[in-house]
Amino acid sequence: MKKYYKLRLGAGFFSFLIDKRAFFISCILLGITCLIFMLSTGIGEVFITPINVLKTLFGFGTEMDELFIYSFRLPRIIIALLVGISLAVAGAILQGLIRNPLASPDIIGITGGGAVGVVCFLMLFSDRNNSLIVSVKWMPVAAFIGATIVGILVYFLSWKNGSSSVRLVLIGIGLSMLAQSLTTLFMVKGPIYQASQANVWITGTVYGATWEQVRILLPVVLILLIISLISVRNVNIQELGDELATGVGSLVQRNRFFLLLLGTALTGASVAFAGVIGFVGLMAPHMARRMVGSSFGALLPVSALLGAILVMLADLIGRTLFSPLEVPAGVFTAAIGAPYFIYLLYKTRNS
């Protein structure tokens, strides 16, 4: 029985082999993603039935349903979806690049760099009355810059006649610890109100998401996903090791730097709008690898869907389980991810 579908586009100019198992699993996960999307849209302080949700989405809902769905729920659900996809794909790229299932944006310090950028922004641009002297819209830019700086530092500090996977992990863990220390220092030095605001953001939440944020994040994520799909071959070659990758004609160091920047950009985009939602970039690719194997062409869509499911589900639980209080989504991803990380460490030690 054949394991692949042959897909040809542009009169045969583009051809693809689609893994049947990966395609089947992707369809199931897509259905689960749509189901959680619908449930999140309808569940809240005011319950809206799935039928009324569909009517509203197609323009036939009541004015009250449209208010709750379009004004309050859809923006945060879409942001959670995009953030989950970004973190999962970034984690898949970094794990393939470093050839280590324990690698993820938060483990090697990239998300920590984004957090440092935010607390620096809140500390530097707050006046004595705890008010920002610049627009809060610049805060995502600060997060993106912080994440990018750490990503570049990880690469160049690990350089010694080339950048090895082991040094990338070790330098990344060291910079992650440094980022956490700087974040705590800046929060202590900053105004109390801004420190508490930063603390909620650092925990990871999509509360307060707006359509303006969706309009910014959506095209960024789509462009980066397209670039990630184009880079499938480079990630697969990186997993062969430096010697074999060089032997097949790959520019190992250049591709490694590019892939690291790609993972950093995906992480920075998500951190900028949702804070530090931890462990998604670790769990989603690892679960996807157990489902469809390590080929990046199959791993990428499955990881993306799993990441979207994890963040949307965490946000749904956070805003409904303890209602009227809202618990940040990052609390639930950390509650799942920390034991999962310990399990991976234990499994790695005994393998």
Task: Give the pLDDT of residue 16.
Answer: 63
Task: Give the pLDDT of residue 268.
Answer: 84
Low-confidence stretches of the chain (pLDDT < 50) are 1
Task: Give the pLDDT of residue 1.
Answer: 45
Question: CA 202 to CA 276: how far, in whole Å?
Answer: 5
Question: CA 151 to CA 265: how far, in whole Å?
Answer: 9
Quickly list DSSP for 181-235. Answer: HHHHHHHHHS-HHHHHHHHHHHH---TT--HHHHHHHHHHHHHHHHHHHHTHHHH
Strands 14-19 and 4-9: antiparallel
Positive or negative CA dihedral for 30, 330, 110, 103? Answer: negative
Question: Which residue reads 């499994």 in tokens?
Answer: 347
Task: Give the pLDDT of residue 265.
Answer: 86
The pLDDT tens digits for 193-230 are 566 666 766 778 888 888 988 988 899 899 999 999 88
281: closest CA among 261, 262, 304? 304
Phi and psi (nearest 5°) for 322? -115, 25
Task: Give the pLDDT of residue 114.
Answer: 84
Q: Where are the beta strands (DSSP E) in the chain?
A: 4-9, 14-19
329: closest CA among 83, 50, 37? 83
The dihedral region occupied by 75, where left means phi > 0, alpha psi between -120 and 50, and beta the remainder, is: alpha
